[in-house]
Amino acid sequence: MPQWPVYTGTAEPHDGIDALPAPPPWRAFDGGPVLPPPADTDDRSATSPDRAHRARTYRPTEQSVHLVNAALYLRRPLLVTGPPGSGKSSLAYAVARELRLGPVLRWNVTSRSTLADGLYQYDPLSRLYAAGRAAAQDLPSGGELQDHLRLGPLGTSLLPYRRPRVLLIDEIDKSDLDLPNDLLNILEEGQYEIPELLRAARSAPTAEVMADGTDDRVTIAGGRVRCRAFPFVVLTSNGEREFPPAFLRRCVPLQLRQPDEEQLEAIVRAHLGEPDAYARTLITRFLERASGGELATDQLLNAIYLTGAAGIEASSRDDLAEQLMPYLSHLGQSAQDPDAF
Protein backbone atom coordinates (compact mmCIF):
# COMPACT_ATOMS: atom_id res chain seq x y z
CA MET A 1 0.00 0.00 0.00
CA PRO A 2 1.43 3.47 -0.86
CA GLN A 3 2.82 5.47 2.02
CA TRP A 4 3.57 9.12 2.69
CA PRO A 5 6.21 10.05 3.44
CA VAL A 6 8.51 7.55 1.74
CA TYR A 7 11.51 9.59 2.87
CA THR A 8 11.09 10.35 6.57
CA GLY A 9 14.32 12.21 7.37
CA THR A 10 14.97 9.98 10.40
CA ALA A 11 18.29 8.64 8.97
CA GLU A 12 17.12 5.07 9.60
CA PRO A 13 17.64 2.98 6.42
CA HIS A 14 14.53 1.18 5.15
CA ASP A 15 12.91 -0.18 1.97
CA GLY A 16 10.03 2.27 1.83
CA ILE A 17 10.90 3.14 -1.76
CA ASP A 18 9.25 -0.13 -2.77
CA ALA A 19 5.92 1.30 -1.54
CA LEU A 20 6.15 4.27 -3.89
CA PRO A 21 2.98 4.29 -6.05
CA ALA A 22 3.03 4.18 -9.83
CA PRO A 23 4.11 7.46 -11.44
CA PRO A 24 1.68 9.91 -13.05
CA PRO A 25 0.85 8.72 -16.59
CA TRP A 26 2.92 11.54 -18.08
CA ARG A 27 6.01 10.46 -16.07
CA ALA A 28 5.92 6.70 -16.69
CA PHE A 29 8.99 5.07 -18.24
CA ASP A 30 9.47 1.56 -19.60
CA GLY A 31 13.18 1.09 -20.24
CA GLY A 32 14.71 -2.35 -20.12
CA PRO A 33 16.02 -4.90 -19.61
CA VAL A 34 15.58 -4.12 -15.92
CA LEU A 35 18.80 -3.77 -13.92
CA PRO A 36 18.96 -4.71 -10.23
CA PRO A 37 19.86 -1.88 -7.85
CA PRO A 38 23.57 -1.62 -7.06
CA ALA A 39 24.91 -3.50 -4.06
CA ASP A 40 24.12 -1.47 -0.99
CA THR A 41 25.00 -1.17 2.66
CA ASP A 42 24.00 1.59 5.03
CA ASP A 43 26.90 3.82 3.99
CA ARG A 44 27.43 2.90 0.34
CA SER A 45 25.38 6.01 -0.51
CA ALA A 46 28.58 7.95 0.10
CA THR A 47 31.99 7.48 -1.44
CA SER A 48 34.10 8.90 1.38
CA PRO A 49 34.03 8.87 5.20
CA ASP A 50 33.08 12.56 5.17
CA ARG A 51 30.05 11.97 2.94
CA ALA A 52 29.03 8.89 4.90
CA HIS A 53 29.09 10.95 8.10
CA ARG A 54 27.06 13.74 6.49
CA ALA A 55 24.49 11.22 5.25
CA ARG A 56 24.03 9.78 8.75
CA THR A 57 23.89 13.11 10.56
CA TYR A 58 21.87 15.23 8.14
CA ARG A 59 18.79 16.75 9.80
CA PRO A 60 16.21 17.93 7.25
CA THR A 61 13.46 20.43 7.95
CA GLU A 62 9.82 19.41 7.70
CA GLN A 63 9.57 21.37 4.44
CA SER A 64 12.56 19.46 3.01
CA VAL A 65 10.97 16.11 3.85
CA HIS A 66 7.69 17.06 2.15
CA LEU A 67 9.35 18.36 -1.01
CA VAL A 68 11.72 15.40 -1.30
CA ASN A 69 8.66 13.16 -1.22
CA ALA A 70 6.91 15.37 -3.77
CA ALA A 71 9.87 14.94 -6.14
CA LEU A 72 9.90 11.16 -5.56
CA TYR A 73 6.15 10.79 -6.18
CA LEU A 74 6.08 13.09 -9.22
CA ARG A 75 9.36 11.75 -10.69
CA ARG A 76 10.62 15.30 -11.03
CA PRO A 77 14.06 16.82 -10.28
CA LEU A 78 14.44 18.65 -6.96
CA LEU A 79 16.00 22.11 -7.38
CA VAL A 80 17.60 22.99 -4.03
CA THR A 81 18.63 26.61 -3.53
CA GLY A 82 20.34 28.02 -0.47
CA PRO A 83 23.47 29.64 0.94
CA PRO A 84 26.79 27.74 1.12
CA GLY A 85 26.87 25.23 3.96
CA SER A 86 23.09 24.91 4.25
CA GLY A 87 23.14 21.18 3.43
CA LYS A 88 22.09 21.20 -0.22
CA SER A 89 24.39 18.41 -1.37
CA SER A 90 24.17 16.50 1.93
CA LEU A 91 20.44 16.07 1.32
CA ALA A 92 21.12 13.81 -1.69
CA TYR A 93 23.38 11.54 0.38
CA ALA A 94 20.87 11.41 3.23
CA VAL A 95 18.05 10.35 0.90
CA ALA A 96 20.22 7.71 -0.79
CA ARG A 97 21.23 6.25 2.57
CA GLU A 98 17.77 6.17 4.14
CA LEU A 99 16.05 4.70 1.07
CA ARG A 100 18.92 2.30 0.27
CA LEU A 101 19.34 3.60 -3.25
CA GLY A 102 23.05 2.86 -3.54
CA PRO A 103 26.01 5.17 -4.14
CA VAL A 104 25.17 8.73 -5.15
CA LEU A 105 26.08 9.63 -8.72
CA ARG A 106 27.65 13.09 -8.54
CA TRP A 107 28.20 15.57 -11.35
CA ASN A 108 30.12 18.67 -10.27
CA VAL A 109 29.17 21.38 -12.76
CA THR A 110 31.54 24.13 -13.91
CA SER A 111 31.24 26.91 -16.47
CA ARG A 112 32.78 24.53 -19.04
CA SER A 113 30.43 21.59 -18.41
CA THR A 114 28.32 20.34 -21.31
CA LEU A 115 25.47 17.87 -21.51
CA ALA A 116 27.79 15.32 -23.12
CA ASP A 117 30.06 15.42 -20.04
CA GLY A 118 27.20 14.15 -17.90
CA LEU A 119 25.96 11.53 -20.35
CA TYR A 120 29.09 9.68 -21.47
CA GLN A 121 32.72 10.04 -22.45
CA TYR A 122 34.15 8.50 -25.61
CA ASP A 123 37.89 8.54 -26.38
CA PRO A 124 38.46 7.84 -30.09
CA LEU A 125 42.21 8.41 -29.81
CA SER A 126 42.67 5.68 -27.19
CA ARG A 127 40.63 3.38 -29.43
CA LEU A 128 42.90 4.15 -32.39
CA TYR A 129 46.07 3.59 -30.35
CA ALA A 130 44.71 0.29 -28.98
CA ALA A 131 43.91 -0.93 -32.46
CA GLY A 132 47.39 0.04 -33.67
CA ARG A 133 49.11 -1.76 -30.81
CA ALA A 134 47.02 -4.88 -31.40
CA ALA A 135 47.89 -4.87 -35.11
CA ALA A 136 51.60 -4.39 -34.40
CA GLN A 137 51.60 -7.37 -32.03
CA ASP A 138 49.37 -9.49 -34.26
CA LEU A 139 46.73 -9.68 -31.51
CA PRO A 140 42.94 -9.59 -31.73
CA SER A 141 41.69 -6.06 -32.25
CA GLY A 142 41.93 -3.81 -29.19
CA GLY A 143 39.86 -1.12 -30.83
CA GLU A 144 36.33 -2.20 -29.90
CA LEU A 145 34.15 0.85 -29.48
CA GLN A 146 32.58 -0.29 -26.22
CA ASP A 147 35.98 -0.54 -24.51
CA HIS A 148 36.61 3.18 -24.96
CA LEU A 149 33.22 4.54 -23.90
CA ARG A 150 32.12 5.15 -20.32
CA LEU A 151 28.79 6.48 -19.07
CA GLY A 152 28.84 9.65 -17.00
CA PRO A 153 26.78 10.25 -13.84
CA LEU A 154 23.72 11.53 -15.72
CA GLY A 155 23.97 8.75 -18.29
CA THR A 156 24.30 6.09 -15.58
CA SER A 157 21.33 7.42 -13.59
CA LEU A 158 19.06 6.91 -16.62
CA LEU A 159 19.86 3.21 -17.00
CA PRO A 160 16.76 1.02 -16.48
CA TYR A 161 17.33 0.27 -12.78
CA ARG A 162 14.49 -1.31 -10.82
CA ARG A 163 14.95 1.30 -8.09
CA PRO A 164 15.76 4.95 -8.78
CA ARG A 165 19.39 6.02 -8.54
CA VAL A 166 20.28 9.28 -6.79
CA LEU A 167 21.92 11.86 -9.06
CA LEU A 168 23.46 15.00 -7.57
CA ILE A 169 24.04 17.78 -10.12
CA ASP A 170 26.01 20.17 -7.96
CA GLU A 171 26.07 23.95 -8.48
CA ILE A 172 23.99 24.06 -11.64
CA ASP A 173 24.01 27.87 -11.39
CA LYS A 174 27.74 27.87 -12.28
CA SER A 175 27.03 26.24 -15.64
CA ASP A 176 27.07 27.76 -19.09
CA LEU A 177 23.77 29.47 -19.89
CA ASP A 178 22.79 26.68 -22.29
CA LEU A 179 23.18 23.70 -19.94
CA PRO A 180 19.83 24.01 -18.07
CA ASN A 181 18.01 24.15 -21.42
CA ASP A 182 20.06 21.22 -22.73
CA LEU A 183 18.99 19.19 -19.70
CA LEU A 184 15.29 19.81 -20.35
CA ASN A 185 14.73 17.14 -22.98
CA ILE A 186 16.84 14.51 -21.20
CA LEU A 187 15.07 14.97 -17.86
CA GLU A 188 11.66 15.20 -19.51
CA GLU A 189 12.02 12.13 -21.71
CA GLY A 190 14.17 10.04 -19.37
CA GLN A 191 16.25 8.77 -22.27
CA TYR A 192 19.14 9.57 -24.58
CA GLU A 193 21.07 8.16 -27.52
CA ILE A 194 24.76 7.43 -27.98
CA PRO A 195 25.47 8.24 -31.65
CA GLU A 196 28.67 6.18 -31.75
CA LEU A 197 26.77 3.07 -30.70
CA LEU A 198 23.83 3.87 -32.98
CA ARG A 199 26.15 3.88 -36.00
CA ALA A 200 27.61 0.55 -34.95
CA ALA A 201 24.22 -1.05 -34.14
CA ARG A 202 23.93 -2.97 -37.43
CA SER A 203 27.11 -4.96 -36.84
CA ALA A 204 26.93 -4.89 -33.03
CA PRO A 205 23.31 -4.51 -31.84
CA THR A 206 24.35 -4.54 -28.17
CA ALA A 207 27.35 -3.13 -26.36
CA GLU A 208 28.77 -3.74 -22.91
CA VAL A 209 29.95 -0.39 -21.52
CA MET A 210 31.28 0.84 -18.19
CA ALA A 211 28.93 2.73 -15.89
CA ASP A 212 29.92 5.64 -13.66
CA GLY A 213 31.26 4.85 -10.20
CA THR A 214 31.87 1.16 -10.86
CA ASP A 215 33.93 -1.25 -12.93
CA ASP A 216 30.82 -3.22 -13.83
CA ARG A 217 29.57 -3.27 -17.40
CA VAL A 218 25.98 -2.72 -18.47
CA THR A 219 24.28 -3.74 -21.70
CA ILE A 220 23.04 -1.06 -24.08
CA ALA A 221 20.88 -2.18 -26.99
CA GLY A 222 20.75 -0.25 -30.25
CA GLY A 223 22.67 2.71 -28.86
CA ARG A 224 19.69 3.92 -26.82
CA VAL A 225 19.25 4.26 -23.04
CA ARG A 226 15.85 4.70 -21.37
CA CYS A 227 15.17 4.69 -17.66
CA ARG A 228 12.59 2.56 -15.88
CA ALA A 229 12.61 4.14 -12.41
CA PHE A 230 13.20 7.85 -12.93
CA PRO A 231 16.24 8.87 -10.84
CA PHE A 232 15.96 11.09 -7.79
CA VAL A 233 17.75 14.14 -9.21
CA VAL A 234 19.01 16.86 -6.86
CA LEU A 235 20.15 20.06 -8.58
CA THR A 236 21.84 22.48 -6.21
CA SER A 237 22.14 26.23 -6.66
CA ASN A 238 23.59 29.03 -4.56
CA GLY A 239 21.04 31.40 -6.07
CA GLU A 240 23.64 33.20 -8.18
CA ARG A 241 21.49 33.26 -11.34
CA GLU A 242 17.96 32.85 -12.61
CA PHE A 243 16.84 29.83 -14.62
CA PRO A 244 14.51 29.74 -17.64
CA PRO A 245 10.80 29.29 -16.82
CA ALA A 246 10.70 26.09 -18.92
CA PHE A 247 13.41 24.63 -16.68
CA LEU A 248 11.84 25.79 -13.43
CA ARG A 249 8.38 24.38 -14.18
CA ARG A 250 9.88 20.91 -14.58
CA CYS A 251 11.48 20.99 -11.13
CA VAL A 252 10.21 20.79 -7.56
CA PRO A 253 11.74 23.88 -5.86
CA LEU A 254 13.19 23.73 -2.35
CA GLN A 255 14.63 26.86 -0.72
CA LEU A 256 16.93 26.13 2.23
CA ARG A 257 17.50 28.89 4.75
CA GLN A 258 19.90 29.43 7.59
CA PRO A 259 18.90 27.06 10.45
CA ASP A 260 17.35 28.58 13.56
CA GLU A 261 18.64 27.93 17.09
CA GLU A 262 16.69 24.72 17.60
CA GLN A 263 17.83 23.32 14.26
CA LEU A 264 21.45 24.30 14.93
CA GLU A 265 21.38 22.51 18.28
CA ALA A 266 20.02 19.39 16.56
CA ILE A 267 22.78 19.59 13.93
CA VAL A 268 25.49 20.01 16.58
CA ARG A 269 24.02 17.13 18.58
CA ALA A 270 24.04 14.85 15.53
CA HIS A 271 27.65 15.65 14.68
CA LEU A 272 29.32 16.23 18.04
CA GLY A 273 26.98 15.07 20.78
CA GLU A 274 25.06 17.12 23.33
CA PRO A 275 26.28 20.76 23.18
CA ASP A 276 27.80 22.08 26.39
CA ALA A 277 27.34 25.58 27.77
CA TYR A 278 30.09 27.10 25.65
CA ALA A 279 28.79 25.41 22.50
CA ARG A 280 25.37 26.91 23.17
CA THR A 281 27.05 30.30 23.56
CA LEU A 282 28.72 29.86 20.18
CA ILE A 283 25.38 28.93 18.63
CA THR A 284 23.82 32.14 19.96
CA ARG A 285 26.74 34.24 18.73
CA PHE A 286 26.71 32.50 15.37
CA LEU A 287 23.04 33.44 14.90
CA GLU A 288 23.74 37.04 15.94
CA ARG A 289 26.59 37.31 13.44
CA ALA A 290 24.58 35.60 10.70
CA SER A 291 22.14 38.52 10.75
CA GLY A 292 24.96 40.77 9.52
CA GLY A 293 26.51 38.59 6.82
CA GLU A 294 26.75 35.18 5.22
CA LEU A 295 27.97 32.28 7.37
CA ALA A 296 27.90 28.50 6.89
CA THR A 297 26.85 25.87 9.41
CA ASP A 298 30.10 23.93 9.03
CA GLN A 299 31.98 27.01 10.28
CA LEU A 300 30.04 26.72 13.54
CA LEU A 301 30.77 22.98 13.76
CA ASN A 302 34.49 23.65 13.23
CA ALA A 303 34.51 26.28 15.96
CA ILE A 304 32.65 24.10 18.48
CA TYR A 305 34.81 21.07 17.78
CA LEU A 306 38.16 22.87 17.98
CA THR A 307 37.42 25.02 21.01
CA GLY A 308 36.26 21.89 22.84
CA ALA A 309 38.72 19.27 21.61
CA ALA A 310 41.98 21.22 21.76
CA GLY A 311 41.86 22.12 25.46
CA ILE A 312 42.23 25.82 24.70
CA GLU A 313 42.23 28.28 27.59
CA ALA A 314 38.95 30.07 28.09
CA SER A 315 40.55 33.45 27.47
CA SER A 316 41.60 32.42 23.96
CA ARG A 317 38.50 30.56 22.83
CA ASP A 318 36.51 33.57 21.67
CA ASP A 319 39.32 34.87 19.48
CA LEU A 320 39.83 31.47 17.88
CA ALA A 321 36.10 30.96 17.31
CA GLU A 322 35.89 34.36 15.61
CA GLN A 323 38.73 33.46 13.26
CA LEU A 324 36.98 30.22 12.33
CA MET A 325 33.72 31.99 11.48
CA PRO A 326 34.60 34.79 9.05
CA TYR A 327 31.89 36.19 6.82
CA LEU A 328 31.70 34.50 3.43
CA SER A 329 30.75 37.66 1.57
CA HIS A 330 31.81 41.29 1.69
CA LEU A 331 28.43 42.31 3.09
CA GLY A 332 29.51 41.39 6.59
CA GLN A 333 33.01 42.80 6.53
CA SER A 334 32.03 45.93 8.47
CA ALA A 335 31.28 43.71 11.45
CA GLN A 336 34.77 42.18 11.42
CA ASP A 337 36.25 44.09 14.33
CA PRO A 338 37.44 42.96 17.76
CA ASP A 339 34.18 44.00 19.40
CA ALA A 340 31.90 42.25 16.90
CA PHE A 341 32.08 38.82 18.57
pLDDT at residue 142 in the model: 56
CA-based torsion, 37, 39, 44, 47: positive or negative: negative
Cβ atoms of 98 and 8 within 8 Å: the answer is yes
- The CATH code that applies to domain 16-255 is 3.40.50.300
Least confident range of 125-139, 229-243, 296-310, 311-325 = 125-139
Residue 335 has pLDDT above 50, yes or no: no
Give the domain ranges of the chain: 16-255, 261-335
Read off the DSSP letter of residue 266.
Answer: H
3-state secondary structure of 65: helix
Kindly state the greatest CA–CA separation across the chain. 77
Residue 5: CB partners within 8 Å, gap ≥ 6? 65, 66, 68, 69
Beta bridge partners of 121: 150
pLDDT at residue 46 in the model: 53
The model's pTM is 0.88
* Higher pLDDT pick, 162 / 43: 162
Judge residue 216's burial from the number of C-beta atoms within 10 Å of its C-beta, 0-12 exposed, 13-18 middle, 19 or more buried: exposed
User: For 97-136, how does the pLDDT look when each residue is reduced to its tens digit (9 = 90+)?
Assistant: 999 999 999 999 999 999 999 999 987 666 566 666 665 6
User: For 169-227, how does the pLDDT look when each residue is reduced to its tens digit (9 = 90+)?
Assistant: 999 999 998 999 999 999 999 999 999 899 888 888 999 999 998 888 999 999 999 99
Residue 303 has pLDDT above 50, yes or no: yes
Residue 332 has pLDDT above 70, yes or no: no
